[in-house]
Amino acid sequence: MYRCPFKEFRVRVPIIAGNWKMHKTASEARALVREIGHALPSSQVEAVVCPPFTALASAIEAAEGTLVRVGAQDLFWKSQGAYTGQVSPGMLTDLGVSHVIIGHSERRGRFGVPEPDFTSEILKLFGDTDASVRKKTHAALAAGIVPIVCCGETLSERRAGDTDSVVATQIREGLAGLDASHSATVVIAYEPVWAIGTGETCAADEADRVCGVIRAAFAELYGAAAGGAVRIQYGGSVKPDNAADILGRPNIDGALVGGASLKAADFLAILTAA
């Protein structure tokens, strides 16, 4: 990372990550990464795609020789053992995974769009909490994987006026106990749950304000310099037509993009906006 002569300031390289969620087979992923990789506008922006586990290997193979980096959508903090269905940090680094999304609201069982088949019983299966987010973040960093740690409030929390305290708690609890070098690596994604997959975007000013709250919470943990250096993405219905407005705000250093990351043209347009 570029360091300017004033120690307390660092250039925050924008980071745009595509969260593909449960989309794309291995062969579809290969084709999409090739398309993005060939057209990637510049090296001024970090470009990451996060396919499902089953498509990581083909995405990594297709990304070779391009500026595209490949991330996972989750990991488990144990290195190995009897944990059926889990994937360890070492399994990801062995493939060449460089980033991982941690604590996405969907993994925490907090969905923006109510679905009739998500009963409370089923929601319990999406089990991330601030405590598991912390363990996963530490495990990712120890393995040399950049964690993209998600936080954000639900609509009812926003309506109750609890937005700032919800995100500050998620940061305090989810990101506690990092050492200094690790605190410089972590990326935070502010994703208001009500704006994910709904077409509702948080107004750019408000997104910027909440990212400022997150920055302050991080600074409380690790000091002003770390607060000034940490990269914070906005996520929630980011599209080519609203990307420039959102990405132009002082506290927003990139985007975590869901739906619009599934088409090369849209994802590239957002990268260009950054």
Residues annotated as catalytic (active site), given as ranges: 104, 191
Residue 29 in the binding site for ligand PGA (CB under 6 A): no
Residue 202 in the binding site for ligand PGA (CB under 6 A): no
Q: How many CB atoms lie within 10 A of CB 144?
A: 12
**Residue 22 or residue 125: which is nearer to ligand PGA going by CB?**
22
Residue 89 in the binding site for ligand PGA (CB under 6 A): no
Binding positions for ligand PGA, 230-249, rule CB under 6 A: 235-238
Selected binder of ligand PGA within 62, 257, 264, 268 (CB under 6 A): 257
Selected binder of ligand PGA within 166, 175, 178, 256 (CB under 6 A): 256
Task: Name the residue whose CB lies closest to ligand PGA.
Answer: 258
Vertex 17, ends 15 and 18: CA angle to 5°?
160
Phi-psi region of 59 (alpha: psi -120 to 50; beta: other; left: phi over 0): alpha
Selected binder of ligand PGA within 47, 167, 259, 264 (CB under 6 A): 259
Q: How many CB atoms lie within 10 A of CB 181?
A: 8
Helix (H, G, I), strand (E, B) or coil at 46: strand
Q: Measure the CA–CA gap between 105 and 189, rounded to whole angstroms.
A: 11
- What are the structure tokens assigned to 71, written together? 């991330």
Q: Measure the CA–CA gap between 244 and 241, rounded to whole angstroms.
A: 7
Selected binder of ligand PGA within 197, 212, 223, 228 (CB under 6 A): 197
Tell me which residues touch ligand PGA (CB under 6 A).
19, 191, 196-197, 235-238, 256-260
